[in-house]
């Protein structure tokens, strides 16, 4: 499959994520949108990785080109998992305090 | 000799003690410290005088004020015939004035009394520094010191704003002169690299003719400021705002004689600059006549005396300009005697009259103030130049020198001398003769002053009478001019540059006799006219102009003071407030305003922040869209 499709899909997912972050007020939805963006990037990294591998393979059958991108993907997944745990904890605490997961309440931290 | 430093040290100590402890010391102690310091200086001065008479001059250097490689300005005192004469005048007259002040200022509170005496001592100290210095820089220190002290003392009663104004006027006018003096010192320094008198006068050959003329003219500007000559004389009559003994000190012993001293000290330079000498003589003569005309119609007892001082100083400058340096110094000395006496006498009258200074409200004080009356009369005779009182000898010497310079100077000077006799006896007659014209209450309180005031009067009266005998002219007794012989070493160099002419004996007799007879006639006229005056009519015409001092103050006000203050207010309101303040405040206001607007961006809405972030990224993309790297990347992909 041509790389453009992957890029298109990843860009679409990323834009959906951004839009969600911008327009939704529910913290959990925003969180999910952030995950969506991260995974769009992951998808792109994997796609480029495969693309580089494919072009390098023609010249050298033993190539390892593109494997570093796949490593990055794992890193991102690990970081995302850590982020999810911290973020969900924040959201739980937020709900306990405000009985709401609306992020617009967070601007009242000063009180 | 190692006593020299004691002369200025005593007044300095007196100044410090009285100044620092004025609140805790009693009045009598303050008076004793203040007068005692000057008395001690006077005694040391007498010792120095004897020393100079036997051993000649001496220069003592203590340390270097400035020491930059080859260029040194030593802090050195020069005690020679000229400075020792001035030392005696300053400390001697100064001491009498201090003693007089202890009684005159007795109404003041403890603190002000102490302040007064500390200023007085500082004044004497500065003046001593001025005459003792061995170079122009030390002289300048003293020069500025007397300027400062005159400011402090003229504005002594600082709660009165008019007095403060007079003090400021004196200070500013002096500053104008000081600038000339300072420039002259720099000029000398630039040409010779030294300011020590001895070295400067020994190396005058290094000066070009224009250098000498410039330097002497600038020095003369300084002398004009300090010694109240046209056009910088108006501060001196206003200086009457200070307590009367201060006027005596300023007019007789210190301050105004500084200019005369400076020119007498620089006599070598002046003799080499004939143009400057002519300028000095003309300015001196003009001042003498101008001030005398004003004095004719003044009604304030102190104002008359003030203008007579300006006029007498004019005579001294006439003498200096005519090359009669001895005559000028002689006149400084005799003038110090009788002018101090006149002022102290006036102070005694004012004291008796409860601070009434208008002579139209006096009269007939002869009976009530016998000692003051007699001493005042003697002083009037002396200043008028009646033989054989002291003023006669000194004035005659100056007029004779003026005749040699130019006979016109002589005739004008003689007219001035007649005016002097007239206004002095107008003052005398209005004050002491006729009927009392004051209020009943004043009449009731009239009393002779305490002995602390009358004793200085008596001493000064004796000096005014006999003071002239140290300078008896040659036609009376050959070789009797003691002062000339004493001062000869100072003026020897000048005498060798310019051969002094001598008058014919017959001419001198004629001049002397003629002027003396005319003076006596004028005195009799004034006496008869004013001892009977009872009604004063408002003057008009020329008399009114004289009464208003030729409107010179108004002229200065309109021509100089108003435009300068106008310019000042323009600078203040437009340049300062709108320009500089506007720019500075504008920057502040801009930052304040913009921060107030920018603050709104930080709303605390997380969504907004993210929106801005996304928008910024999009903008960045758009901006860098055409960058080669990105273009290349995109090309590769699509």
Task: Please tell me the predicted confidence (pLDDT) of residue B637.
Answer: 67
Rounded distance between C-alpha atoms, residue B126 and residue B142, angstroms: 4
In terms of Cβ atoms closer than 10 Å to its own Cβ (0-12, 13-18, 19+), residue B4 is buried
B325 contacts B319 by C-beta, under 8 angstroms: yes
Least confident of B280-289, B326-335, B447-456: B447-456
Instruction: Indicate if the pLDDT at residue B499 is higher than 80.
Output: no
Q: Do A4 and B607 touch (CB under 8 A)?
A: no
Contact B603 A4 (CB under 8 A): no
Is residue B67's pLDDT more than 60?
A: yes
For the segment B99-124, the average pLDDT, to the nearest whole number, is 88
Mean pLDDT value across residues B344-368: 83
Q: Note whether A25 contacts B607, CB cutoff 8 Å.
A: yes
What is the end-to-end Cα distance of chain A in Å, rounded? 55
Query: How many interface pairs between A and B have CB atoms less than 8 angstroms apart?
Result: 27
Going by pLDDT thresholds of 50, 70 and 90, the confidence category of residue A16 is very high
Neighbours of A59 (CB within 10 A): 8
What mean pLDDT is predicted for residues A4-22?
91
Residue A106 lies in a domain: no
| φ/ψ (deg, to 5) at B58 | -150, 150
Give the model's pLDDT for residue A45. 92
**B296 in Cβ contact with B242 (< 8 Å):** no
Q: Given this model, what pLDDT does residue A12 score?
A: 94
Q: Report the chain B residue with the minimal C-alpha distance to residue A17.
A: B614
Q: Which residue of B has its CA nearest to A104?
A: B605
d(CA B609, CA B615): 10
Of B71-85, B225-239, B432-446, the poorest mean pLDDT is in B432-446
The answer to whether residue B638 scores a pLDDT higher than 70 is no
Half-sphere exposure of B261 (CA within 13 A, CB side): 31
Is residue A33 within 8 Å of A111, Cβ to Cβ? no
Q: Return d(Cα B261, Cα B86) in angstroms, integer.
A: 8
Report whether A69 contacts A52 (CB < 8 A). Answer: yes
B373: part of which helix (H) or strand (E)? helix B370-384
Which residues, at least 6 apart from B23, have a Cβ–Cβ distance to it below 8 Å? Answer: B110, B111, B114
**Contact call for A4 and B611, based on CB within 8 A:** no
For residue B195, what are its two tokens?
């300011």
* Minimum Cα–Cα distance from B634: chain A residue: A4
User: Does B500 have pLDDT greater than 70?
Assistant: no
Q: Helices in B266-357 by DSSP H: which ranges? A: 267-271, 274-296, 301-321, 325-352
Question: For A4, which of B610, B611, B638 is closest by C-beta distance?
Answer: B638
The predicted pLDDT at position B352 comes to 84
* Lookup: tokens for B394: 């000194």
- Whether A69 is covered by a domain: the verdict is yes
> Residue A85 falls within a domain, yes or no?
yes
Whether B606 sits inside 8 A of A103 (CB atoms) is: yes
Residue B274 pLDDT grade (very low, low, confident, very high; cuts 50, 70, 90): confident
pLDDT at B595: 92
Cβ atoms B355, B300 nearer than 8 A: no
Percent of chain B with pLDDT over 90: 11
Range of the domain at A19: 3-101
- Which residue out of A17, A21, A108 would a mutagenesis test of the B interface target, given it has the greatest number of B Cβ atoms within 10 Å? A21
pLDDT digits (tens, 9 = 90+) for B220-267: 998 888 888 888 888 888 888 888 888 888 887 788 888 889 988 888
Mutate to test the interface with A, among B606, B611, B635 (most CBs of A within 10 A): B606
Q: What is the pLDDT of residue A36?
A: 93
Indicate whether B551 pLDDT > 70. Answer: yes
- Enter the pTM of the model: 0.77
Measured between alpha carbons, how far is B184 from B221 in angstroms, rounded to an integer? Answer: 9
With beta carbons under 8 A apart, name residues in chain B contacting A106. Answer: 604, 606
Q: In sequence order, what E strands does B6-82 have?
A: 58-68, 71-79
pLDDT value for B489:
81
Q: Count Cα atoms within 13 angstroms, Cβ side, for B211.
A: 16
CATH of the domain at A89: 1.10.287.3510
Confidence of residue B359 (pLDDT cuts 50, 70, 90): confident
* CA angle at B498 for the pair B494 and B501, rounded to the nearest 5°: 115
Q: What pLDDT does A107 receive?
A: 67
CA distance A4 to chain B (A): 7
> Domain total for chain A?
1
| B1 pLDDT higher than 70 | no
Nearest to A13 by CA among A34, A40, A38, A31: A40
Other C-beta atoms lying within 10 Å of the C-beta of residue B218: 22
> Is 90 exceeded by the pLDDT of residue A101?
no
- Give the whole-angstrom CA distance, residue A7 versus residue B275: 102
pLDDT digits (tens, 9 = 90+) for B286-339: 999 988 888 888 888 888 888 898 899 998 989 888 888 888 888 888 988 888
What's the mean per-residue pLDDT of chain B?
A: 86
**Higher pLDDT, residue B504 or B206:** B206
Q: What is the DSSP string of B491-528?
A: HHHHHHHSPPP---HHHHHHHHHHHHHHHHHHHHHHHH
Residue B610 has its nearest CB partner, among A21, A25, A106, at: A21
Q: What's the pLDDT tens digit per position in B372-403?
A: 888 989 999 988 888 878 888 888 888 888 88
Torsion angle of alpha carbons B533, B535, B540, B541, nearest 10°? -20
Select from B332, B417, B344 the least CA-distant residue to B375: B344
Q: How far apart are CA B321 and CA B220, in angstroms?
A: 11
Question: Per-residue confidence at B576, pLDDT binned at 50, 70, 90?
Answer: confident
Q: What is the pLDDT of residue B182?
A: 92
Q: Tens digit of pLDDT for each residue in B586-626?
A: 999 999 999 999 888 887 777 788 888 889 988 998 888 77
Instruction: Decide if A109 is inside a domain.
Output: no
Is A77 domain-assigned? Answer: yes
Which pLDDT value is given to residue B510? 82
- pLDDT tens column, B202-221: 888 888 888 889 989 999 99
Return the pLDDT at B495: 77
Instruction: Report d(CA A72, CA B442) in Å as an integer.
Output: 113
- pLDDT confidence of A74, banded at 50, 70, 90? very high
Is A46 a member of any domain? yes
Task: Give Cα separations from B437 to A20, B356, B361, B432 (angstroms).
Answer: 108, 12, 5, 11
């Amino acid at each position: 499959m041509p790389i453009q499709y992957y890029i298109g899909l990843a860009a679409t997912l990323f834009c959906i994520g951004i839009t969600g972050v911008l327009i939704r007020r529910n913290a959990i939805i925003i969180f999910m949108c952030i995950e969506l963006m991260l995974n769009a990037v992951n998808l792109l990294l994997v796609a480029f990785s495969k693309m580089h591998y494919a072009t390098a393979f023609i010249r050298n059958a033993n190539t390892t080109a593109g494997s570093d991108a796949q490593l990055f993907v794992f890193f991102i997944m690990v970081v995302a998992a850590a982020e999810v745990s911290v973020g969900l904890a924040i959201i739980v605490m937020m709900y306990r305090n405000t009985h709401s997961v609306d992020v617009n309440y967070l601007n009242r931290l000063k009180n | 000799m190692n006593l020299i430093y004691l002369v200025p040290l005593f007044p300095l100590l007196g100044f410090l003690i009285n100044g620092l402890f004025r609140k805790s010391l009693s009045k009598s102690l303050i008076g004793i410290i203040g007068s005692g310091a000057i008395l001690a200086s006077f005694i040391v001065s007498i010792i120095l005088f004897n020393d100079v008479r036997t051993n000649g001059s001496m220069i003592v250097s203590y340390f270097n004020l400035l020491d930059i490689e080859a260029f040194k300005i030593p802090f050195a005192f020069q005690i020679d015939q000229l400075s020792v004469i001035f030392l005696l005048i300053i400390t001697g007259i100064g001491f009498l004035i201090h003693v007089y002040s202890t009684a005159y200022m007795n109404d003041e509170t403890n603190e002000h009394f102490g302040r007064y005496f500390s200023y007085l001592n500082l004044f004497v100290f500065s003046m001593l520094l001025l005459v003792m210095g061995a170079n122009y820089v030390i002289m300048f220190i003293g020069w500025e010191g007397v300027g400062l002290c005159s400011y402090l003392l003229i504005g002594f009663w600082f709660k009165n704003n008019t007095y403060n104004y007079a003090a400021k006027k004196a200070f500013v006018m002096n500053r104008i002169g000081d600038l000339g003096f300072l420039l002259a010192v720099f000029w000398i320094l630039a040409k010779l690299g030294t300011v020590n008198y001895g070295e400067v006068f020994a190396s005058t050959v290094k000066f070009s003719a224009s250098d000498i003329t410039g330097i002497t003219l600038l020095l003369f500007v300084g002398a004009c400021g300090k010694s109240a000559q046209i056009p910088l004389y108006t501060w001196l009559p206003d200086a009457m705002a200070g307590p009367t003994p201060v006027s005596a000190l300023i007019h007789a012993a210190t301050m105004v004689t500084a200019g005369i001293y400076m020119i007498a000290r620089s006599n070598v330079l002046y003799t080499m600059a004939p143009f400057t000498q002519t300028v000095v003589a003309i300015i001196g003569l003009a001042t003498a006549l101008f001030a005398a005309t004003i004095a004719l119609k003044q009604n304030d007892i102190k104002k008359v005396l003030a203008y007579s001082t300006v006029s007498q100083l004019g005579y001294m400058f006439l003498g200096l300009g005519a090359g009669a340096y001895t005559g000028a110094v002689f006149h400084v000395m005799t003038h110090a005697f009788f002018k101090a006496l006149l002022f102290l006498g006036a102070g005694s009258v004012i004291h008796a009259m409860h601070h009434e200074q208008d002579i139209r409200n006096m009269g007939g004080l002869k009976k009530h103030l016998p000692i003051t009356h007699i001493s005042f009369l003697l002083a009037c005779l002396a200043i008028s130049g009646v033989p054989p009182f002291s003023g006669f000898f000194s004035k005659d010497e100056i007029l004779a020198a003026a005749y040699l310079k130019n006979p016109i100077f002589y005739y004008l000077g003689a007219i001035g001398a007649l005016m002097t006799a007239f206004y002095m006896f107008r003052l005398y007659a209005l004050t002491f003769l006729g009927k009392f014209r004051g209020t009943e209450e004043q009449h009731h309180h009239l009393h002779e002053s305490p002995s602390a005031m009358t004793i200085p009067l008596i001493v000064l009266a004796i000096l005014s009478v006999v003071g002239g005998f140290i300078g008896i002219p040659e036609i009376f007794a050959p070789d009797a001019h003691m002062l000339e012989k004493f001062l000869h070493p100072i003026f020897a160099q000048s005498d060798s540059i310019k051969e002094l002419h001598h008058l014919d004996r017959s001419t001198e007799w004629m001049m002397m006799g003629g002027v003396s007879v005319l003076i006596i006639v004028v005195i009799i006229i004034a006496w008869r006219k004013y001892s009977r005056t009872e009604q004063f009519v408002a003057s008009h015409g020329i008399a009114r102009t004289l009464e208003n001092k030729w409107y010179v103050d108004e002229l200065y006000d309109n021509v100089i003071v108003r435009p300068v203050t106008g310019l000042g207010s323009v600078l203040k309101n437009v340049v300062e407030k709108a320009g500089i303040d506007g720019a500075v405040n504008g920057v502040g206001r801009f930052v304040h305003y913009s921060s107030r607007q920018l603050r709104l961006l930080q709303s605390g809405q997380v969504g907004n922040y993210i929106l801005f972030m996304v928008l910024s990224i999009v903008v960045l993309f758009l901006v860098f869209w055409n960058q080669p790297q990105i273009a290349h990347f995109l090309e590769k992909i699509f």
